[in-house]
Amino acid sequence: MDDDAELLSAGQVEALLDWFDRYGVDYPWADTREPWAIWVSEVMLQQTTISAVQSRYIRWMERYPTPGHLAETGEDEFLRDWEGLGYYNRARNLASAAGEIVRRFGGRIPRSYDDLRSLPGIGDYIASALSSFAFDERNAAIDANGRRIAQRLSGLEGWDKSVENRFRKAVESRMPREKPGRLNAAVMQLGQLVCLPRSPRCRDCPLGGSCLARAQGRQDEIPLRRKKTIVELRTPIAVLIDECRVFLQQRSSGIARGMWVFPARTEIPDFEMNWKIVTNLPVMIHAYTKYKEHLEPGIFVPRHGNSPAFRLSGGGKWVESEGLDQLPMPTAYRKIAGQLANHSLLPCVPGVEI
């Protein structure tokens, strides 16, 4: 396939756009031309399923309808609103970029691809998607769906940058003059609905007649999947309670940086000497990147009446029980916090003895 057009011909594009018009899904962000709304949707959809994003997107846009609203919000607050979507650096980058939008561009999102790329957290994909959907620029936004489609069309098991370049040029050369972003959306949704990572629905594919992987019967083998090694961890967690206060540690690094968690028992100086257990709570699973962490929480109170003074490397503080809901937590830790309220285990609840 030396010719760019062979990877996506005019006839294929026509068939793809016709399929999109008939079968495309009307997501909450699909019909908007508002750059901020498009930007937020694209950030949320990175490494997160559409089903998880839809309701959260609506709530976020109600809370932060403009970059200025996000720029003036503290980190604890916007991380709490992002809670459950994971990959919290996305929210931090979005907030940092919102601040730059206010300072550098008077609160208006720039049209220029280069200006967009200069903002925190915006790479080629988001800049291309935003410029095509909001500003009618003919820029191909190639995400994981587009890469998978390009690989299957060309019959390549492994990813080849030259294929991306050929596919990008083919998409851009075939984009309609009006609303060029429709072709980007069509490619994305074809990957989401038909050209699936596993068990693709080839009979429903408007590009199936020219797909080399399908012709070779290798659509389930392409792209070649790398075996992912999952590392199992077990972490004994200490829910420390003193009267109606609970101790929380703020993560200072990693993907949960800035989030609040219950500390591991191994992090607490002289733990066995100073704390006694009240009860164990159900094990919670905290899955992230290549790790599957089994959190084993227990509720502990001071052995000698008063909570001992101690410091943790990540920093921490005592929080009133009603304040737990105000601080951002990873989902598994939020579930642990929920156990306290659900089972009335806090000692300030009448009738509970420790």
Architecture of domain 231-342: Alpha-Beta Complex (3.90)
SS (H, E, C) the chain: CCCHHHHCCHHHHHHHHHHHHHHCCCCCCCCCCCHHHHHHHHHHHCCCCHHHHHHHHHHHHHHCCCHHHHHCCCHHHHHHHHCCCCCCHHHHHHHHHHHHHHHHHCCCCCCCHHHHHCCCCCCHHHHHHHHHHHHCCCCCCCCHHHHHHHHHHHCCCCCCHHHHHHHHHHHHHHCCCCCCHHHHHHHHHHHHHCCCCCCCCHHHCCCHHHCHHHHCCCCCCCCCCCCCCCEEEEEEEEEEEECCEEEEEECCCCCCCCCEECCEHHHCCCHHHHEEEEEECCCEEEEECCEEEEEEEEEEEECCCCCCCCCCCCCEEEEEHHHHHHCCCCHHHHHHHHHHHHCCCCCCCCCCCC
**Could you tell me the residue ranges of all domains in the chain?**
4-215, 231-342
Residue 223: cis peptide before it, omega within 30 degrees of 0: yes
Q: What are phi and psi for residue 104, nearest 5 degrees?
A: -90, -30
Closest CA to 30 of 258, 184, 175: 184
Which portions of the chain are predicted below pLDDT 70? 1-6, 313-314, 341-354
Structure token pair of residue 341: 């309220």
Active-site option among 42, 83, 137, 172 = 42
In 10 A of CB 202, how many CB atoms? 17
Q: What's the topology of domain 4-215?
A: Endonuclease III; domain 1 (1.10.340)
Strand partners, 250: 260
- How many whole angstroms from its chain centre is CA 286? 15
Residue with tokens 């937020």: 40
Please answer whether residues 139 and 132 qualify as being in contact, where contact means their C-beta atoms are separated by less than 8 angstroms: yes
In 10 A of CB 335, how many CB atoms? 18
> In this predicted structure, what is the pLDDT of residue 300?
92
Whether 42 is catalytic is yes
- How many whole angstroms from its chain centre is CA 276? 38
